[in-house]
Structure formats: structure tokens, C-alpha cells
Amino acid sequence: MDLGELYQDLILDHSQRPHHFAKPPGANRVALGHNPLCGDRYTVYLVMEGDRIAAVGFEGQGCAISKSSASLMTDAVSGKTRAEAEDLARRFQEMVTGKGKDEGLGKLLALAGVSAFPMRVKCASLAWHTLKAALDSRAEPVTSE
Ligand code: ZN
């Protein structure tokens, strides 16, 4: 898979040294996400203060794409409002499925290359689906579908 050297380095870096890779103190929302096609499995934690994501963290295991995507997701949504995070999630999903414009996505653009690889799209999307589930405080695990 050729994602370009710069983006490959970014993905590798985030998968090896993921950001916010812990349960944040005071977490009041949680969701488990599972991508059975690849075996990726993550728990996303949120500390919601009203409508704002005061802190976010994740734990779990999976492939480099899913882990780097989760790490980049936590960077992207920290301090955002719920509406802003949901908007980012929607635009990220459009990017990795090859729709929409890639504007204003910053480092998330590192994952744009997965749109050519349907199996990898599920890996890249998993953290965002799990984020949405955490925002909704669903009790059941979600898949990346
Ligand atoms: Zn995966």
C-alpha cells in the first residue's frame, strides 16, 4: 500500500506511539468498537463537560491503520464540541470512502489513501464509529459497519 512517504511515517509514528492511549481520569462515556474483518478492537473513553469533549482516550489493539487512526482521532476531537466532533467524523468518513472534499482535515489526511482499499476503510473508520457510539453512550459494542 502506497500512502506516500510522509503519510506512511505519520501513520507508523501514531501506531507505534499512539496519543491519548489510556483511560482518561473522570471518563463518563465509553464505547467498545470491534472490526471483525481485521480483528481491531478498541475502547474509546470520553470526559464530557456539558457539550464539550474535555478529554478523550483509547485502549485496545489492532493493525497500524486502525491504531494510528484512533490516535489521530483523539488529537482531532480533544476540546471540540459534540457537534464539531460529529462533523469531523462525517467528513473523515467521506474522505476514506473517496467522497467529499479533503478540506480542513489536517493530519487526518494521512489516512486518505485508504479509500483505495475497502478492507482498510473499516480499519480507519473504527475509531470514529466508536467515538460516535461513545457520544451516544450506547451500551453495546459497535462494529465498523
Ligand atoms: Zn485493521
Place of cell 487526518: 108
Q: For residue 51, report the distance from its CA to the centre of ligand 1, in Å.
A: 30
Give the Cβ contact number of residue 36 at 10 Å: 11
Pairwise CA distance, residues 130 & 127, whole Å: 5
Q: For residue 43, report the distance from its CA to the centre of ligand 1, in Å.
A: 14
3-state secondary structure of 2: coil
pLDDT along the chain (145 residues), means of 10: 70 96 95 96 95 97 97 98 96 92 85 89 97 79 56
Residues 3-33 pLDDT 10s = 467 788 999 999 999 999 999 999 999 999 9
The residue range of the domain holding 13 is: 3-137
145 falls within a domain = no
Q: For residue 64, report the distance from its CA to the centre of ligand 1, in Å.
A: 7
Tally of domains within the chain: 1
What CATH number has the domain bearing residue 30?
3.90.1010.10
Q: Calculate the alpha carbon distances from 62 to 4, 103, 113, 144 in Å.
A: 22, 28, 19, 13
CA 36 to chain centre: 16
142 falls within a domain = no
